[in-house]
Amino acid sequence: MKRVLALLVLSVLLFDTAACGGGGRGVLAPGKANVHGTWVNEADSSEYLELKQDGTYFLKEGGIGYSGEWEIENNTITIHVGETGVAARATLKDGKILDEDGKVWVKGEPESETADLTGLAERACEDMSAVSGSDDWQIYNQAEERASRAGFTTSELDDAVRELCPDIFSEYVDNQ
Provide the percentage of residues in the chain whose pLDDT is more than 70. Answer: 73
* Domain termination site, one of 50, 84, 107: 107
The answer to whether residue 17 is domain-embedded is no
Q: How many domains does one find in the chain?
A: 2
pLDDT at residue 132, rounded to an integer:
60
Number of residues written out for the chain = 176
Asked if residue 99 lies in contact with residue 47, where contact means CB atoms within 8 angstroms, the answer is no
pLDDT at residue 111, rounded to an integer:
64
Query: Do residues 45 and 71 both lie within one domain?
Result: yes
The answer to whether residue 90 is domain-embedded is yes
Residue 150 has pLDDT above 80, yes or no: no
The answer to whether residue 26 is domain-embedded is no
pLDDT at residue 121, rounded to an integer:
86
Provide the percentage of residues in the chain whose pLDDT is more than 90. Answer: 18
Predicted TM-score (pTM) of this structure = 0.53
Query: Do residues 91 and 49 both lie within one domain?
Result: yes
Mean pLDDT score across all residues of the chain: 74
Helix H or strand E encompassing 69? strand 64-73
Tell the burial category of 61 from Cβ atoms under 10 Å away from its Cβ (0-12, 13-18, 19+).
middle
Region 142-157: what's the mean pLDDT?
82
Residue 90 has pLDDT above 50, yes or no: yes
Give per-residue pLDDT as tens, 156-176.
889 999 999 888 888 776 666
The answer to whether residue 24 is domain-embedded is no
The answer to whether residue 150 is domain-embedded is yes
DSSP state, residue 73: E
Query: Do residues 102 and 42 both lie within one domain?
Result: yes
* Domain termination site, one of 81, 107, 133: 107
* Domain termination site, one of 52, 73, 107: 107
Neighbours of 147 (CB within 10 A): 24
Residue 105 has pLDDT above 90, yes or no: yes
Query: Do residues 44 and 98 both lie within one domain?
Result: yes
The answer to whether residue 74 is domain-embedded is yes
The answer to whether residue 7 is domain-embedded is no
Domain that holds residue 90: 37-107
The answer to whether residue 13 is domain-embedded is no
Q: β-strands 76-81, 48-51: how paired?
A: unpaired
pLDDT at residue 134, rounded to an integer:
61
Q: How confident is the model at residue 96 (pLDDT cuts 50, 70, 90)?
A: very high
Asked if residue 93 lies in contact with residue 75, where contact means CB atoms within 8 angstroms, the answer is yes
Inter-axis angle of helices 117-129 and 154-164, nearest 10: 60
Give per-residue pLDDT as tens, 17-49.
233 334 444 444 443 457 888 899 888 877 889
